[in-house]
Each structure stands twice: as structure tokens, then as C-alpha cells.
Amino acid sequence: MHPFHLAFPVDNLEKARAFYGALLGCPEGRSSDEWIDFNLFGHQIVAHLAEGEALNDAYSDVDGKKVPVRHFGIVLSMPEWEAMADKLKAAGIEFIIEPYIRFKGEVGEQATMFFLDPSGNAIEFKAMAQPDRLFAK
């Protein structure tokens, strides 16, 4: 699989560095006074300083929950997802959608959780019950 690249706005680079680097464990790559590259499980995400641009006010109903339309994240293995959920809970992260299993018993059964970074960017970490069914209908 080829790594993806995602650039997103943040209000404060030091808070982004603490959140993505220290809390989520994303190694830092190149940076400047305006942006920071992070390695999100082999994918390049870039936090760009752009105050007020991370506002997130559109939601969609998914499995009876209000999911932020604009979000990004990663699909982890189930053990990685469980460890991350425990780590975020221990850090006192406020979840938009608490960690849970959705679409239980269906082709797309998955563990999911949604939370915000310090700038208000919505993030989803998920894990598939059957990883080979990530794109199954």
C-alpha cells in the first residue's frame, strides 16, 4: 500500500506537536515555523498553521451517531485500536463518539472512536473485525 499525504489546519503548532507527537505517538519529520510533518502509522500528515480553519460543523448520521463529515484517521489492527483507546481514555481525551463496536454482525463490523485535536480537527481511529472486508459492500 502506498502512504497517503494529508495536510490539515491547526491553530497552534506546539499544541499539535504535543498532541500528534507525544500523545498519539506520531514521529515528527520535517518542520518549519508554519508546518510540521508527522508519521501517522506510515502515512504523512502535515499540520499547517492556519488559525480558525479547523472549524467542524457538518455532521452525518452513521449507526445512530452524529459523525463529523470532515474527519481523518487510520485503520488499525484490533489490538492497536484497543491500546489506543485505553491510552486516550487514560489521557482524559473527550470523545465525540466513545470507543465502541458499530455495525455489529454485519459485513462492515468495526471498532471506532472519534475525538478532536486541540484545533478542532475530528479524528477517527477504527479497526475492522475482519480487515479483509474494509471495502466490502
Task: Give 60-82 pLDDT, tens digit per residue.
Answer: 999 899 999 999 999 999 999 99
pLDDT bin (cut points 50, 70, 90) of residue 57 is: confident
- For domain 59-133, give the CATH superfamily: 2,3-Dihydroxybiphenyl 1,2-Dioxygenase, domain 1 (3.10.180.10)
Task: Give 36-53 pLDDT, tens digit per residue.
Answer: 999 999 999 999 999 888
The model carries a pTM of 0.91
> Would you state the pLDDT for residue 73?
96
Residue range(s) occupied by CATH 3.30.720.120 in the chain: 5-49
What's the rounded mean pLDDT across residues 129-134?
86
Alpha carbon distances (Å) from 4 to 31, 72, 109, 119: 18, 11, 24, 22
Classify strands 95-102 and 43-49 as parallel, antiparallel or unpaired: unpaired
- 25-33 long-range contacts (CB < 8 A, ≥24 apart) are none
The total of other beta-carbon atoms located within 10 Å of residue 113's CB is 22
Task: Give 81-91 pLDDT, tens digit per residue.
Answer: 999 999 999 99
**Coil, strand, or helix at residue 43?**
strand
Higher pLDDT, 55 or 61: 61
What fold characterizes domain 5-49?
A: 3.30.720
